[in-house]
Chain A
Amino acid sequence: MKILAVCGMGLGTGLLLRMQAEKALRELGIQADLEVADIGTARALASSADLILTSEELAPQLGQVKPKIVTISNFIDLREMVTKLRAAME
């Protein structure tokens, strides 16, 4: 599966989400490709992704997209990432 980590510029927060998701996926024992995108190009990339990770404020800006959107409120909380990813995968 392919996961897109989205933030405003695709430089800081998105990268952090990607690193946290990598850890969480390792813990859950799930294999996935992770890619970082900025909010401007995320909609174009969304068609090839299975899941989108982003912040609560940016999620509405993605609008209607094919993949499921998972919003993370505390970027450094690994437990939140694990819980939400597990719920999304089911």
Chain B
Amino acid sequence: MDQLNYVINWIAKDIFGVPAYLVGLMTMIALIASRKGAGEVVGGALKATLGFIILGIGAGAVIGALTPLGALITGAFGVEGVVPTNEAITAIANGIPDVAQNVAFAMFIGVIGSLVIARLTPLRYVFLTGHHMLFMATVLTVVLYNAKVDSAVQIIVAAFGLATMMVIMPAFSMPWMKKVTGNQPVAMGHFGTLGYIAAGMTGQVVGRGSRSTEEMQFPQGLRFLRDPMVGTAVAMIFIYLLLTIIFTLRIGEAAALEAVVAAGFAGAAGAAGGLLGFLTTMFNQALVFGGGVAVILLGVRTILGEIVPAFAGIAERVIPGAVPALDCPVSFPYAPNAVLVGFLASVVGGLVGFGILWAGVGAWLVVPLILPGMIPHFFTGGTAGVFGNATGGRRGAVAGGFVNGLIITLFAAFLVPVMSAIGFQGTTFGDADFQWFGFVVGNIARIEGNVAAVGVAVLCVVLLVVASWFQKRYVDTGWVPGGQPTPTPPTGSEQPAHGVA
């Protein structure tokens, strides 16, 4: 008997208790279910496991670089601040074994659940953006963990929430997506969708008679920012150095450096000291942050490269004729100029949001300051620009991007408190849907432990009913905001779509 107990304990702690193995096992199941050969199953499972290990290594680097950043923001503005980066916060959350285990289960069950819902309701969307499934599973698990809901309930409720979001958000954005793509059978499968719908609506209000962004020339010199590694590094260098200068101007470089070291930063020991030493040390940390995010991305990419194709293979057999809901850059070829306009407008919106938080914080809002995180601003701002352009031309693209930037900044501030279980980590989720859904679920869950789980389940059912009604009333009848679009194929395309064969 003792030996049996020992084995069970061993399986629970040393196998299921290690998130990397759990991810590997889930991948293995998905690969077996999509009828892959033995070699591919073993190779894929091992690769996904290694991807998770890589994720942890990158997280270590980013967390290290966030320590001095937190001290700099606090020192420069007198309040705590964060730079929303999905990759970083997900990696941090996955560092807590309890949370990581539940995230893996919630994601697996949620993804299967979304296929079941797509099969049974009018919401026939297959969401294929793997990293957003992981992020949404993480947000929901963390807010439920924060509310001290039981582990098993956490998994089931987070899975239901994830499955719901995977089919309702593509449905709600479908009319605008049709406007963008010219009625092609492709949906938006990205959890920044609230910002895109807001951008589409804003564009319609402000953009009457405005010409398309695609009729203007945009400087080629700004296109290098489209490389996320470069964009993140440039923005982080700017943020670190600016904060270092503000902090130094306030209390002098010696005292500022001392405060940063007191916050737990050990990397300044070998520096020359003085203002130049302080600046170059912080410059180095900005690069460590950028490099760390790139490592995390490599980890996420390694995991998803195995899981997503397996999932797509299963989905094709289970839900024939479903619409694929794809990552936001799918909209970029329809209006490449609007992407850059939207991105820049979104950053401006983010800075205005920062100003609003700074003015209001401490007075009546108990939320941290939110600095612009470049990855969310680029991808969601760019997409918001495309949506704004579709309904309101240039003015629509600018206003749409701006509104998106404002939304993801203000909403991020409100998400931080409901995620406090993982402490104040200097980062949070950067896209609108993680923020509003995480905030709503987090506040329902706060009411009373497990009873709140019922509340979240009811919320999901209500959302599914509303989305089904919306699908039948607006999407299936072919309603498109601002009238039928002129069929605009993506730049250079000469053929109509044939759908995913």
On A, residues with C-beta under 8 Å from B are 7-13, 15-16, 18-20, 22-23, 36, 38-41, 55-58, 60-61, 71, 73-80
Tell me the smallest distance from the CB of A44 to a CB of chain B, in Å.
11
Q: Is B120 an interface residue (CB 8 A)?
A: no
The segment from B17-25, B201-209, B330-338, B428-436 found at the interface with A is: B330-338
Complex Cα spacing A36 to B51, Å: 14
Q: Is the CB of B336 within 8 A of A74?
A: no
CB < 8 Å neighbour of B229 from A19, A22, A36, A40: A40
Given the complex, which residues of A lie within 8 Å of B499, measured CB to CB?
A: 76
Q: Is the CB of B495 within 8 A of A11?
A: no
Tell me the smallest distance from the CB of B271 to a CB of chain A, in Å.
28
Given the complex, which residues of A lie within 8 Å of B130, measured CB to CB?
A: 11-12, 15
> Given A74-B495, A80-B495, are A56 and B333 also a contact pair (CB < 8 Å)?
yes
Q: Is the CB of B495 within 8 A of A38?
A: no
Q: Closest A-chain residue to B233, C-beta based?
A: A40
Given the complex, which residues of B lie within 8 Å of A23, measured CB to CB?
A: 501
Q: Is the CB of B326 within 8 A of A75?
A: yes
CB < 8 Å neighbour of B226 from A11, A58, A77: A58
Q: Is the CB of B304 within 8 A of A11?
A: yes
Q: Is the CB of A10 within 8 A of B327?
A: no
Q: Is the CB of B497 within 8 A of A74?
A: yes
CB < 8 Å neighbour of B297 from A19, A20, A38: A38
The segment from B57-65, B365-373, B417-425, B486-494 found at the interface with A is: B486-494
Q: Is the CB of A73 within 8 A of B490?
A: yes
Q: Is the CB of A56 within 8 A of B326?
A: no
Complex Cα spacing A77 to B333, Å: 14
- Between A and B, 16 residue pairs with Cβ closer than 8 Å are A8-B228, A12-B131, A12-B328, A15-B304, A15-B309, A19-B309, A20-B500, A39-B226, A40-B227, A55-B332, A55-B333, A56-B491, A57-B333, A61-B227, A75-B330, A76-B186
Chain B residues with a Cβ closer than 8 Å to the other chain, count: 47
Given the complex, which residues of B lie within 8 Å of A73, measured CB to CB?
A: 333, 489-493
Max chain A Cβ within 10 angstroms of own Cβ: one of B304, B333, B336, B492: B333
Question: Besides the contacts A7-B329, A38-B229, A56-B492, what 10 more A-B pairs have beta carbons closer than 8 Å?
Answer: A12-B327, A12-B330, A39-B226, A73-B333, A73-B489, A73-B491, A74-B489, A76-B184, A76-B497, A80-B495
Q: Is the CB of B131 within 8 A of A11?
A: yes
Given the complex, which residues of A lie within 8 Å of B327, measured CB to CB?
A: 11-13, 16
Tell me the smallest distance from the CB of B483 to a CB of chain A, in Å.
23
Given the complex, which residues of B lie within 8 Å of A12, measured CB to CB?
A: 128-131, 190, 326-330
Complex Cα spacing A80 to B489, Å: 13
Q: Is the CB of B228 within 8 A of A78?
A: no
Max chain B Cβ within 10 angstroms of own Cβ: one of A39, A40, A41: A40
Complex Cα spacing A60 to B223, Å: 10
Given the complex, which residues of A lie within 8 Å of B309, measured CB to CB?
A: 15, 18-19, 22
Q: Is the CB of A77 within 8 A of B129?
A: no
Tell me the smallest distance from the CB of A25 to a CB of chain B, in Å.
13
Given the complex, which residues of B lie within 8 Å of A19, measured CB to CB?
A: 308-309, 312
Q: Is B294 an interface residue (CB 8 A)?
A: yes
CB < 8 Å neighbour of A61 from B223, B491, B497: B223
> Given A19-B312, A55-B332, are A74 and B490 also a contact pair (CB < 8 Å)?
yes
Given the complex, which residues of A lie within 8 Å of B304, measured CB to CB?
A: 11, 15
CB < 8 Å neighbour of A77 from B300, B491, B497: B497
Complex Cα spacing A12 to B131, Å: 8
Complex Cα spacing A23 to B501, Å: 9
Interface string of B283-311 (1 = CB under 8 A from A): 00000000000100110110011001100
Q: Is the CB of B326 within 8 A of A13?
A: yes
Given the complex, which residues of A lie within 8 Å of B501, measured CB to CB?
A: 23, 78
> Given A13-B330, A76-B324, A78-B501, are A36 and B294 also a contact pair (CB < 8 Å)?
no
Q: Closest B-chain residue to A55, C-beta based?
A: B333
Complex Cα spacing A77 to B495, Å: 8
Q: Is the CB of A80 within 8 A of B493?
A: yes
Complex Cα spacing A12 to B304, Å: 9
Q: Is B13 an interface residue (CB 8 A)?
A: no
Q: Closest A-chain residue to B307, C-beta based?
A: A15
Tell me the smallest distance from the CB of B111 to a CB of chain A, in Å.
15
Complex Cα spacing A3 to B206, Å: 45
Given the complex, which residues of A lie within 8 Å of B317, measured CB to CB?
A: none
Tell me the smallest distance from the CB of B332 to a CB of chain A, in Å.
6
Given the complex, which residues of B lie within 8 Å of A58, measured CB to CB?
A: 226
Complex Cα spacing A12 to B133, Å: 12
Q: Is the CB of A15 within 8 A of B308?
A: yes
